[in-house]
């Protein structure tokens, strides 16, 4: 497995919009990830940022073990799209690196998974304007670096 496999998880699960993504330059190609729209890599060619905001992503983010292939991912912005379903617990697999998670302005439902609160480096957690239910877990206290919660 590679960074490419983990990125393809996002692509495969969000292709439901009849018009496709607004911007998908080089996605689903053999080109290096550093030239894929919305993907930034570090000097070692590891994915550190995925920004696909306002891009007509539609579908559900299913549970997967592929996100473990992004151990250097610091920022994940999938906000302002049409993503439905539950927030996947597997986002907690990014606990060693994730500092910004923005899933705001989608159609996500259910509770915030406890696994999110194991991402102790999170500084920004935006989940606003979804259809989430339930309260905040006491495990929120684990996020000692958190500066913005919405």
Q: What is the mean pLDDT of residues 48-69?
A: 95
Task: Measure CA 36 to chain center.
Answer: 16
Q: Could you tell me if 71 and 44 are in contact, meaning their C-beta atoms sit under 8 angstroms apart?
A: no
**In whole numbers, what is the pLDDT of the chain averaged over residues?**
94
Condensed to tens digits (0 to 9), the pLDDT of residues 80-121 reads 999 999 999 999 999 999 999 999 999 999 999 999 999 999
pTM here? 0.94
Question: In the predicted model, what is the mean pLDDT of residues 37-50?
Answer: 96
Q: For residue 6, what is the enclosing H or E element?
A: helix 3-13
The pLDDT of residue 135:
86
């Amino acid at each position: 497995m590679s960074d490419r496999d983990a990125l393809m998880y996002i692509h495969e699960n969000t292709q439901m919009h009849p018009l496709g993504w607004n911007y998908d330059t080089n996605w689903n190609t053999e080109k290096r990830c550093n030239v894929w729209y919305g993907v930034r890599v570090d000097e070692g060619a590891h994915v550190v940022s995925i920004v696909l905001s306002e891009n007509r992503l539609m579908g559900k983010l299913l549970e997967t073990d592929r996100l473990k292939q992004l151990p250097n991912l610091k920022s994940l912005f999938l906000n302002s799209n049409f993503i439905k379903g539950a927030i996947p617990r597997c986002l907690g697999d990014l606990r060693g690196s994730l500092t910004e998670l923005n899933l705001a302005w989608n159609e996500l439902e259910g509770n915030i998974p406890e696994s999110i609160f194991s991402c102790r480096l999170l500084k920004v957690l935006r989940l606003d304007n979804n259809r989430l239910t339930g309260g905040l877990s006491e495990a929120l206290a684990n996020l000692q670096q958190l500066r913005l919660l919405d």
